[in-house]
Amino acid sequence: MKSIHHHKHFIESGFISRKTHTALNAPTTRLHQSLVEEKASVISDADNIYMRKAIEAASNGLGNTFPNPAVGCVLVSGDDEIIGVGFHPKAGYPHAEVFALFEACGYVDSGVDAAKSVVKFTKNSINERDEVMETVDDLLETYSSENGAQTLFENRLAEKDVTAYVTLEPCCHFGKTPPCAYTFVQAGVKRVVVGFRDPNPKVDGGGFKVLEDNGIPVDLMIANERKARSKAEAKNAQDCANIVSSFVKRIAPRTESEGADILDYDSYMNGAKRSILRSVAGRRKNDNSMVEFAWPSSGAFVDAKDANVDLEEAVANMSIDHSWMEAVDNALWSHELILLRLTNAVQKKKGAKILGERIAKELNAHVAQVVGHTALLYRPARPPVLSLEPVEEDVET
């Protein structure tokens, strides 16, 4: 309900126009996206330098943001002073743009250090928040509240002629917090340079449209060296794409040639296809090429021996390490078929099955087999590599 209320408030307050609101709820923004991409490159040497710094910032979040992408942002004033740098540290916390704004508006000394405090707190299971982490939590609470973006950022950068450099197109959809594209408008950012368009159907050019509808020009870097203004621009654009490669594979709609039909596992999978996957797994185990992931020993654990524990509910609510999930996700893209060892998570075999299915659902994968405390996960690459069609043998007559 909060996000719906936020959305209504932004329209009524004039923060976004009803025209923009209508466009964002349309089935696609691809026409606008194509117009942005077709503009001749105006990327300068300075733009490339600042985008490189945004890429460096994004690297701080790699491996910790699942299911979100790693993103970096740099804010530069009209007199070429970097006034804010940030990266997205973890799902559920502010995006890179917001951490950069926290610094630019004086709420934290360093947007990068503030984001790093989130990584440290969540990655190492630290129980006590340090002062920086407490500040981040307080800012997040304000930002997530009604009028939060206005309260924190309204016109704070309007007089500084700020250009924002973001490795990925700013989001435009409403969730736990206001979208970054709207927040840039609210803060008074004057120009946005983007390294890579977000293929997420919830965005897909919508961030560009929100910004340009509110008078903020957007320049998208070009990865094609023949169309880019410089090799530096092409490299930056490609590096921005590489940072989110696994996210893009997971979120972008598939075509038929990319295995779209396979993802309808309930219809596509049958005993014969699962048998083929088990045979592939057997061959890989025999030649030691089977990729396996054990549940982290420091990860969450369900005490299935406790009679008071509802196993399904406990497994459904247990926390899953984001770094581990990101590693599993990457391995599936590379190998299509992997084995999960879940003994460290739950000792009952039924619990391992429930957990395997939960992990598969989050990764849009399929549980091909559960044996003991192991789950065999399958997800087709883009395009699929493994053939699940039975091979017909020639019969001599």
How many whole angstroms separate alpha carbon 65 and alpha carbon 56? Answer: 16
Residue 188 CA, chain-centre distance (Å), reads 26
3-state secondary structure of 56: helix
Taking the alpha carbons at both ends of the chain, their separation in whole angstroms is 69
Q: What is the helix (H) or strand (E) element at residue 354, kind and residue range?
A: helix 349-362
Q: What is the helix (H) or strand (E) element at residue 326, kind and residue range?
A: helix 322-335
* Burial grade of 82 (CB within 10 A; 0-12, 13-18, 19 or more): middle
Assess contact for 312 and 343: CB atoms under 8 A.
Answer: no
Task: Write down the catalytic residue from 37, 38, 56, 97.
Answer: 97
Tokens standing for 257? Answer: 């040639």
Q: Is-catalytic flag, 97?
A: yes
Phi-psi domain of 288 (left: phi exceeds 0; alpha: psi -120 through 50; beta: other):
left
What does residue 8 show for φ and ψ, rounded to 5 degrees?
-60, -40
Assess contact for 273 and 262: CB atoms under 8 A.
Answer: no
Residues contacting 33, CB < 8 A, separation 6+: 197, 204, 205, 208
How many whole angstroms separate alpha carbon 211 and alpha carbon 313? Answer: 43
Point out which residues pair with 76 in neighbouring strands.
82, 163
Assess contact for 83 and 75: CB atoms under 8 A.
Answer: yes
DSSP state of 70: P
Residue with tokens 């320049």: 219
Tokens standing for 136? Answer: 């981040």
**What angle is formed at CA 232 by the lines to CA 231 and CA 237, rounded to 5 degrees?**
100
CA proximity to 167, closest of 304, 331, 55, 276: 55
Q: Which residues are catalytic?
A: 97
